[in-house]
A and B are shown apart, each in its own frame.
Chain A
Amino acid sequence: MRKRETIETFGRMKVNLFKILLVSVIGLVSATVSANAVIEIDITRGNVQPLPIAVTPLSGSGAQMTTAGSVMEIGKQISQVVTADLERSGLFNAIDPRAFINSDNATAAPQFANWRAVGAQALVTGATILREDGQLRVEFRLWDVLAGSQMAGLALTGSPQSWRRVAHKISDAIYKRLTGEEGYFDTRIVYISESGPYLNRIKRLAIMDQDGYNHQFMTDGSFMVLNPRFSPTSQEITYLSYYNDTPRVYLFNINTGKSEMLGEFRGMTFAPRFSPDGKNVIMSKAEHGNTDIFVMELATRRIKQLTTNSAIDTSPSYSPFGRYITFTSDRGGSPQLYVMDADGGNIKRITFGQGLYSTPVWSPRGDLIAFTKQTGGKFYIGVIRPDGSGERILTESYFEEGPTWSPNGRVIMYYRKYPYDNKGGGGETQLWSIDLTGYNERQVLTPLDGSDPAWSPLLDRR
């Protein structure tokens, strides 16, 4: 009997021990799990703001002189151009140099605490050095102020006179590192410079850097010019000229300054634009009251008709890889946007909204088509996806048209015309640019009135 009780007691003890052990193990496991637990948080909102950046004057010797000024002065001017480029993009907020606590020596690591104190998140330092061969070497470094580390560093060498291009290249490098997109500062704009009264307007072909500097007229204004467009190499420009009162498409070589007519056709040719590979020029040709789209192979000057509709087909523009063409046609009763294959097949209408659509231009990124829209007595610049979805209006005014894309597909330039007033004033035409987001609309300053701009590709692709 006692033995049995002992066995039972022992059995009960075993059960209790097992329970205790089980509880201990569970406790230990849960404690371990809890000790290793990591909080995971989704950050889904933020504030899209210009990035605060400090661009210090590039250091350089004030005693060393070049044909473009002292090395120190060039260093300061490069910093100013870089600052202006970045600010104009709308994506950066350049900190006023007067707020700088110190100017770091380009060769030493910056005092990041001082830059954090003025609110900078990015910092540009650098130096200009005059080499023995007379070339200017410009070094710069881009720093992450909060991390205290270098993000980019580059050295460029060129003639002292080319310091503005050097500055734009530095801007492009900074822009690319901080936005992930190619820059667009080392680019040029070709446009129609306008002057004179409304009925006797003088229109000249003009070219300038994207920031308005290095402005030049390429024609003398003795005959009207329209529709200038850069070739993908940036060395050539196509445009429409009324030379001898006959509208024809011409090819202008920037390096040589010479023009040549692209083919001799019956009728009128206009709205030229290069193919992405630069081998073809696509244009409109009007004959016997009908306008169709043609493509010319530049090497052979052979032309091929792409559209045969009795309506007006015009303003053709290639997609970035040349597979598709977007154009305007009124074949549906009013001017609308269409997309077709590069050989003229598979034509699809992509706009069905109210209003008249014209001047479609395919984005260099390929994701959007910019256009001019006219409705309700106003003009608009907008973008739409190639499949016709996602139409978005960016800007509106009394009259504006002729969008052109920055080479990175981020900014659109166009021209705006103001109405004439009763006192004989008004009627000015100006170049404007706007960010793809619809913000950061800015006037692009030109010496005279300006219209019909075209943005070049990045110049370093030459």
Chain B
Amino acid sequence: MRNALIISGIFHAAFLIIAAMDIALFDSVEDSEMVIIPVEILPFDEETKTMEIAKLPEPQKEKPEPPKKLPERQAELPPPPPIMQSSMPLPEEAKKPAVKPKPPEKKAEPPQVAQRSKPKPPSRYDADRIAQLLNKVPEQENITDRLAEKFGQQEQKATSLDVQRQTMSISAAIQKKIEEQCWNPPSGALDAGSLRVKVYMYLTLDGNLARPPVADDYVRMTGAMKVAADSALRAVRMCAPYSDLKLPKTMYDQWREVILNFDPSGMIS
């Protein structure tokens, strides 16, 4: 009996010691994990990470470079706070940037709720967790939707800006070549400065003329107007091929057909 009491006492003591040590270990583990989470989130100020977290990988694959080229786009990024919340359920990603220590205020609160429930009996734990999940899922879905919407809009804006920029650059390249190398406007006519001509230019993917350029209303033109149209058509032909401009093939739809408005009013009075 005595031996039994001693053994029982040793086991109890051992149990208590182990229990005490376990609790301390769990706490430390939780703390260490909790430190990591916000560290990953706080530096979230780049669009590339935004895409990852928002699970929008496709735009990233298509356009990996634009953020560097277009710093203005960063100004349109949504503010960080909502993104921090959405990143919470992604622990694997949270561990990666653990190197960077960051402000500790907000990082402890949300995990604590989940951690304290762990030691509780499974039934209660499950109920709480389910309740939390039930409460959070819609919220998370909303946030994700909102993020997706925002990022979608942002991506659309970015794409639209990108297209605009590339279009402008294509226009500028064609304009520069024709103006500097090819257009010899007729200056002899009485109203030479007012002879404006619209020419349609059709290009192949490799920058050649797909078919002869066409001047708007050419068949009805006579005299000086026809001469002005001829000079514009000559310029388009003389500048061909446009392969040296290295027009982006991905945007061929944009420059397959180009309208050129020849207007000498600024140079011939």
- Known A-B contacts A146-B238, A147-B233, A180-B223; A47 and B190 likewise in contact (beta carbons under 8 Å): no
Q: Which residues of A contact B185 (CB under 8 A)?
A: 46, 48
Q: Which residues of B contact A51 (CB under 8 A)?
A: 184
| Stretch of A30-38, A309-317, A351-359 with 4 or more beta carbons under 8 angstroms from chain B | A30-38
- Known A-B contacts A46-B267, A144-B234, A180-B225; A39 and B189 likewise in contact (beta carbons under 8 Å): no
Interface size on A, residues (CB 8 A): 33
Contact of B179 (CB < 8 Å), options: A37, A44, A178, A367: A44
A321 to B94 Cα, complex, angstroms: 90
Tell whether, in the assembled complex, residue B263 and residue A39 are in contact, meaning their CB atoms are under 8 Å apart.
no
In the assembled complex, A40 has its CB within 8 A of some CB on chain B = yes
- Known A-B contacts A39-B171, A41-B259, A43-B235; A179 and B264 likewise in contact (beta carbons under 8 Å): no
Tell whether, in the assembled complex, residue A180 and residue B224 are in contact, meaning their CB atoms are under 8 Å apart.
yes
| A-facing residues in B66-83 (Cβ within 8 Å) | none
Q: Which residues of A contact B226 (CB under 8 A)?
A: 180
| B-facing residues in A73-89 (Cβ within 8 Å) | none
Q: Which residues of B contact A42 (CB under 8 A)?
A: 175, 261, 263
Q: Which residues of A contact B228 (CB under 8 A)?
A: 180
In the assembled complex, A450 has its CB within 8 A of some CB on chain B = no
Tell whether, in the assembled complex, residue A410 and residue B188 are in contact, meaning their CB atoms are under 8 Å apart.
yes
Tell whether, in the assembled complex, residue A147 and residue B212 are in contact, meaning their CB atoms are under 8 Å apart.
yes
In the assembled complex, B187 has its CB within 8 A of some CB on chain A = yes
In the assembled complex, A343 has its CB within 8 A of some CB on chain B = no
Contact of A43 (CB < 8 Å), options: B163, B253, B260: B260
Tell whether, in the assembled complex, residue B171 and residue A147 are in contact, meaning their CB atoms are under 8 Å apart.
no
Q: Which residues of B contact A146 (CB under 8 A)?
A: 233-234, 237-238
Tell whether, in the assembled complex, residue B266 and residue A144 are in contact, meaning their CB atoms are under 8 Å apart.
no
A377 to B171 Cα, complex, angstroms: 53
Tell whether, in the assembled complex, residue A39 and residue B237 are in contact, meaning their CB atoms are under 8 Å apart.
no
In the assembled complex, A49 has its CB within 8 A of some CB on chain B = yes
Q: How many A-B residue pairs have CB under 8 A?
A: 117
Tell whether, in the assembled complex, residue B235 and residue A35 are in contact, meaning their CB atoms are under 8 Å apart.
no
Q: Mark A140-169, 1 if CB is under 8 A from B, else 0.
A: 000010110001000000000000000000
Tell whether, in the assembled complex, residue B183 and residue A179 are in contact, meaning their CB atoms are under 8 Å apart.
no
Q: Mark B242-260, 1 if CB is under 8 A from A, else 0.
A: 0000000000011101111
Q: Mark B174-216, 1 if CB is under 8 A from A, else 0.
A: 1100111011111111100000000000000000000010000
**B200 to A, closest residue via Cβ:** A38
Tell whether, in the assembled complex, residue A409 and residue B190 are in contact, meaning their CB atoms are under 8 Å apart.
yes
In the assembled complex, B227 has its CB within 8 A of some CB on chain A = yes
Q: Which residues of A contact B174 (CB under 8 A)?
A: 39, 41
Q: Which residues of B contact A36 (CB under 8 A)?
A: 253
Contact of A39 (CB < 8 Å), options: B182, B254, B262: B254
A41 to B258 Cα, complex, angstroms: 7
Tell whether, in the assembled complex, residue A48 and residue B187 are in contact, meaning their CB atoms are under 8 Å apart.
yes
A46 to B264 Cα, complex, angstroms: 8
A451 to B128 Cα, complex, angstroms: 114
A150 to B233 Cα, complex, angstroms: 14
A437 to B186 Cα, complex, angstroms: 12
**B212 to A, closest residue via Cβ:** A147
In the assembled complex, A91 has its CB within 8 A of some CB on chain B = yes
Tell whether, in the assembled complex, residue B175 and residue A179 are in contact, meaning their CB atoms are under 8 Å apart.
no
Tell whether, in the assembled complex, residue A41 and residue B188 are in contact, meaning their CB atoms are under 8 Å apart.
no
Interface centre among B167, B190, B235, B255 (most CB of A within 10 A): B190
Tell whether, in the assembled complex, residue A179 and residue B227 are in contact, meaning their CB atoms are under 8 Å apart.
yes
User: Given A41-B260, A45-B267, A181-B188, 8 more contacts at CB 8 Å?
Assistant: A38-B258, A38-B259, A41-B171, A41-B175, A51-B184, A178-B230, A181-B190, A409-B190
A and B contact pairs by CB, cutoff 8 A, 5 listed = A40-B171, A43-B179, A45-B266, A46-B182, A49-B184
Q: State the 4 A-B residue pairs at the shortest beta-carbon distance, nearest first.
A: A180-B224, A46-B183, A180-B227, A179-B188
